[in-house]
């Protein structure tokens, strides 16, 4: 038995308050807010066992069970301030800036593993030994145990372990799922409170015996750690055990690696649960659009990291008469609803963890308004008037100076904000949050968009001929790499369904699961599938399309297609493309080169089809479902005519 289990008084009062008091030596009269006592000993037995086992392993100084209250959050913030992890941003209400260790700034895909008994359950087997698999990494359960034993023993010593009961989706909702994250990072504890629903209502569900995902996180230990941002970048690992719904993350405090409800649970573990239960867990935004005639439809869109999901999810429509409302900006859980016969989607998250650079009052006013209070900023620049600044934001006022994300005076010779710097803010604060964003049964989805950063060859929008063809379009997605993960430069990478870093199981099986949606429910009304590209460039390397709020012009065309208007399309080898003049460009100045934006260059597409086929055959080999190969064969045939 670890010592804490013998002492039933390991409660918030004795732990977090005293921890905070101890760290506030310069404020001896600090009065900690009173909290309710949530003792480890009163946790539901399955949760308690998980905590006990992890305490044994990680040896924290004490344990704090989170109730999710305001008072508790104040204590955590005090601790973060005392540790120097965050600084207050007086320009905004209740908002803070954190600077991470410069080596801990993004997801690390090469250190992310799925561990299953059989390798082929987790990742596809490439066609030959010479081909390196790029659709996830596998680790044997034995190796995982070794990796854990190499890193976790005493990894939390001297720190508080936070026990965070959290719900993905509204607590108790029919599509929601519960997790318990243990972490030694108060930054993670504070961020999980924004990004998920935490605390007592979730504990109530757990005490009724509801199953939960076990998520263990430690920032770890190494020599010469920054006291304000402990981490262990050389030994970081993000491990998933889908067979027992477990996540184990070591060495990084950065969002995608440490807020385990997000990519680890909602996508990697989520996709394996979804497959077992017949639904889909996807890297997609969810948005509601009301057109001038009053009809409202919801669409989902899968774009790779840093390719425009948050911006589309809360865009300020540039066409008059349109109303856009946001349900979610990063993750969608989609399930067949027998009442409407449609796929319904929920946003399992409660906050936005958005890319800061490029966000401003013109491109994304709704995101700017959402982060005006109760927000955590990570690795952005700091202004001398107590605010934040990043590349692409409106210039600061006269005389205001900037400190860069590394804490140095900013002089314009380098960036003020890290390219993957982020804002974390409550979704409920979004001025255009959808009235149904917390509806337990989700919202009915009329269309799914795939897209990415394609400087060349890929039209502004095209529509798949049917579901099977659409699944092939998702499988063939490619995009320029971004700062959201560790990849260097701007290479065009395959990123099927924008899920390459997030699959929890073999991508071949994932394709079969998508295809099966058509036959699984005989009466299903499937969403139409489209592909969009806001990022095509001209010969000077300038974007051909204005993007952002003007993307409503493309959505307008898509909505008319959902209504069945066949007069606005033209058939091409890759799918239906808007007929000339069928996209409303009225009032745009300069008028975009629509001919170029909608062109489908044959040579380019022959190479593209070849590249997709080679990729799937090399990477997924015998696990590629036959209908996908048939769709590629048909595409090649159409391109050769
Ligand atoms: N040119 C152009 N840039 C865009 C557009 N939409 C978004 N961006 C930029 O692309 C970057 C990423 O956009 P986000 O909307 O945050 O991307 P995301 O897909 O939500 O990213 P993750 O949070 O990493 O999943 C930001 O710098 C945006 O300003 C667009 O329509 N056109
Ligand atoms: O997971 C993260 O760190 C942020 C994110 O949304 C992504 O990269 O897609
Ligand atoms: Mn994302």
pLDDT single digits (tens) 480-499? 999 989 888 889 999 999 99
Alpha carbon distances (Å) from 454 to 303, 304, 478, 521: 11, 12, 8, 35
pLDDT at 350: 98
Ligand 1 atom nearest the C-alpha of 308 is 15
492-494 and 197-198 as β-strands: parallel, antiparallel, unpaired?
unpaired
Q: Give me the mean pLDDT over the 468-481 stretch.
A: 98
Range of the domain at 401: 352-429
pLDDT at 5: 47
Q: Give me the mean pLDDT over the 602-621 stretch.
A: 98
What's the gap in Å between 284 CA and the centre of ligand 3?
Answer: 8
Final residue before a domain boundary, out of 263, 278, 293: 278
> Which residue is catalytic, options 15, 231, 307, 326?
307
pLDDT single digits (tens) 424-438? 999 999 999 999 999
Look at residue 7 and tell me whether its pLDDT is greater than 50.
no
Q: Is the CB of 330 under 6 A from ligand 2?
A: yes
Helices (H), 362-418: 365-370
Q: Give me the mean pLDDT over the 1-19 stretch.
A: 54
Report the number of distinct structural domains present in the chain.
3
Final residue before a domain boundary, out of 278, 302, 329: 278
Residue 99 to residue 89: CA distance in whole angstroms: 13
CA gyration radius for the chain? 24
Residue 123 to residue 268: CA distance in whole angstroms: 12
Look at residue 444 and tell me whether its pLDDT is greater than 70.
yes
Nearest CA to ligand 2 atom 9: 305
pLDDT at 15: 66
**What is residue 446's three-state secondary structure?**
strand
Domain co-membership, 337 together with 377 = no
pLDDT at 8: 40
More confident residue, 42 or 191: 191
Structure tokens at 518: 């058509």
Residue 314's CATH number: 3.90.228.20
Q: Give me the mean pLDDT over the 319-329 stretch.
A: 98
Q: Give me the mean pLDDT over the 610-625 stretch.
A: 98
Q: Is there a contact between 209 and 288 (Cβ–Cβ < 8 Å)?
A: no
pLDDT single digits (tens) 531-547? 999 999 999 999 999 99
Q: Give me the mean pLDDT over the 35-40 stretch.
A: 78
Residue 384 to residue 398: CA distance in whole angstroms: 11
Look at residue 6 and tell me whether its pLDDT is greater than 80.
no
Residues in a beta bridge with 98? 86, 378
Domain co-membership, 406 together with 547 = no
Structure tokens at 84: 């120097």
Ligand 1 atom nearest the C-alpha of 354 is 23
pLDDT single digits (tens) 165-180? 999 999 999 999 999 9
Q: Give me the mean pLDDT over the 42-57 stretch.
A: 95
Domain co-membership, 450 together with 406 = no
Ligand 2 atom nearest the C-alpha of 484 is 8
What pTM value is reported for the model? 0.97
Domain co-membership, 145 together with 230 = yes
What does the mean pLDDT of the chain come to? 95
Q: Is there a contact between 463 and 506 (Cβ–Cβ < 8 Å)?
A: no
pLDDT single digits (tens) 253-294? 999 999 999 999 999 999 999 999 999 999 999 999 999 999
Q: Is the CB of 262 under 6 A from ligand 2?
A: yes
Nearest CA to ligand 1 atom 21: 306
Residue 425's CATH number: 2.170.8.10
Final residue before a domain boundary, out of 400, 429, 458: 429
Domain co-membership, 265 together with 169 = yes
Q: Which of 11-25, 201-215, 481-495 has maximum average pLDDT? A: 201-215
Of all residues in the chain, the percent with pLDDT exceeding 70 is 98
Residue 307 is among the residues annotated as catalytic for this protein? yes
pLDDT single digits (tens) 388-420? 999 999 999 999 999 999 999 999 999 999 999
Look at residue 209 and tell me whether its pLDDT is greater than 90.
yes
Q: Is the CB of 423 under 6 A from ligand 2?
A: no
Domain co-membership, 106 together with 190 = yes
Residue 143's CATH number: 3.40.449.10
Distance of CA 296 to the CA centre of its chain: 26
Of all residues in the chain, the percent with pLDDT exceeding 90 is 91
Q: Is there a contact between 377 and 89 (Cβ–Cβ < 8 Å)?
A: yes
pLDDT single digits (tens) 510-530? 999 999 999 999 899 999 999
Domain co-membership, 264 together with 287 = no
Rounded to the nearest 5 percent, the helix, strand and coil shares of the chain are 30, 20, 45
Domain co-membership, 188 together with 235 = yes
Q: Considering only 23-32, 347-356, 546-555, which range has the smallest mean pLDDT?
A: 23-32
User: Which residue reads 């952005």 in tokens?
Assistant: 380
Triad 24, 17, 349: Cα angle to 5°: 105
Domain co-membership, 455 together with 512 = yes
Q: Is there a contact between 189 and 164 (Cβ–Cβ < 8 Å)?
A: yes
Domain co-membership, 466 together with 394 = no
Name the band, by pLDDT with cuts 50, 70 and 90, for residue 9. very low
Domain co-membership, 408 together with 450 = no
């Amino acid at each position: 038995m670890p010592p804490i289990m013998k002492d039933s008084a390991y409660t918030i009062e004795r732990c977090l308050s005293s921890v905070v008091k101890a760290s506030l030596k310069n404020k001896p009269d600090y009065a900690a807010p009173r909290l309710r006592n949530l003792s480890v000993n009163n946790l539901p037995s399955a949760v308690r066992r998980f905590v006990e086992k992890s305490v044994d392993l990680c040896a924290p100084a004490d344990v704090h069970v989170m109730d999710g209250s305001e008072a508790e959050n104040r204590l955590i913030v005090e601790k973060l301030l005392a540790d120097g992890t965050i600084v207050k941003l007086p320009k905004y209400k209740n908002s803070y800036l954190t600077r991470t260790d410069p080596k801990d700034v993004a997801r690390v895909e090469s250190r992310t593993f799925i561990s299953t008994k059989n390798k082929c359950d987790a990742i596809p087997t490439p066609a030959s030994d010479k081909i390196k698999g790029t659709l996830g990494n596998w680790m044997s359960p034995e190796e995982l145990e070794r990796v854990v034993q190499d890193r976790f023993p005493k990894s939390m010593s001297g720190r508080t372990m936070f026990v965070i009961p959290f719900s993905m989706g509204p607590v108790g909702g029919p599509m929601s799922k519960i997790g318990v994250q243990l972490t030694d990072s108060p930054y993670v504890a504070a961020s999980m409170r924004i990004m998920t629903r935490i605390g007592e209502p979730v504990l109530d569900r757990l005490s009724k015996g509801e199953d939960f995902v076990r998520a263990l996180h430690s920032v770890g230990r190494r020599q010469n750690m920054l006291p304000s941002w402990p981490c262990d970048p050389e030994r970081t690992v993000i491990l998933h055990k889908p067979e027992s719904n477990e996540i184990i993350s070591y060495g990084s405090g950065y969002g995608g690696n440490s807020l385990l409800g997000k990519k680890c649970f909602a996508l990697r573990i989520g996709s394996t649960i979804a497959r077992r239960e017949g639904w889909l867990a996807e890297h997609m935004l969810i948005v509601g659009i009301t057109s001038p005639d009053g009809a409202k439809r919801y669409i989902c869109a899968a774009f790779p990291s840093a390719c425009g999901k948050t911006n589309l999810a809360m865009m300020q429509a540039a066409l008059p008469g349109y109303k856009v409302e946001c349900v979610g900006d990063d993750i969608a859980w989609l399930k067949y609803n027998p009442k409407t016969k449609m796929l319904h989607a929920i946003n399992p998250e409660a906050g936005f963890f958005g890319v800061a650079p490029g966000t401003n009052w013109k491109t994304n006013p709704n995101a700017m308004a959402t982060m005006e209070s109760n927000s955590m900023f990570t690795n952005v620049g700091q202004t001398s008037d107590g605010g934040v600044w990043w590349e692409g934001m409106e210039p600061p006022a006269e005389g205001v100076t900037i400190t860069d994300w590394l804490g140095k005076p900013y002089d314009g010779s380098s960036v003020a904000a890290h390219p993957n710097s982020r804002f974390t803010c409550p979704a409920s604060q979004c001025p255009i949050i959808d009235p149904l964003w917390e509806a337990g049964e989700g919202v009915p989805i009329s269309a799914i968009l795939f897209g990415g950063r394609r400087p060349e060859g890929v039209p502004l929008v095209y529509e798949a001929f049917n579901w099977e063809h659409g699944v092939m379009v998702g499988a063939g997605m490619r995009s320029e790499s971004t700062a959201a993960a560790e990849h260097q430069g701007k290479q065009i990478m395959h990123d099927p369904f924008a899920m390459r870093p997030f699959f929890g199981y073999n991508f071949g099986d994932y394709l079969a699961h998508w295809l099966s949606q058509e036959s699984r429910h005989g009466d299903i009304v499937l969403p139409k599938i489209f592909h969009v590209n806001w990022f095509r460039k001209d010969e000077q390397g300038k974007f051909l399309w204005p993007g952002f709020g003007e993307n409503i012009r493309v959505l307008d065309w898509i909505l008319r297609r959902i209504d069945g208007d066949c007069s606005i399309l033209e058939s091409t080898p890759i799918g239906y493309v808007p007929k000339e003049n069928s996209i409303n460009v009225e009032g745009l100045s300069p008028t975009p080169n629509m001919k170029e934006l909608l062109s489908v260059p044959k040579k380019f597409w022959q190479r593209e089809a070849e590249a997709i086929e080679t990729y799937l055959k090399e990477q997924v080999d015998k696990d590629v479902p036959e209908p996908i190969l048939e769709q590629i064969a048909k595409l090649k045939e159409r391109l050769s005519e």
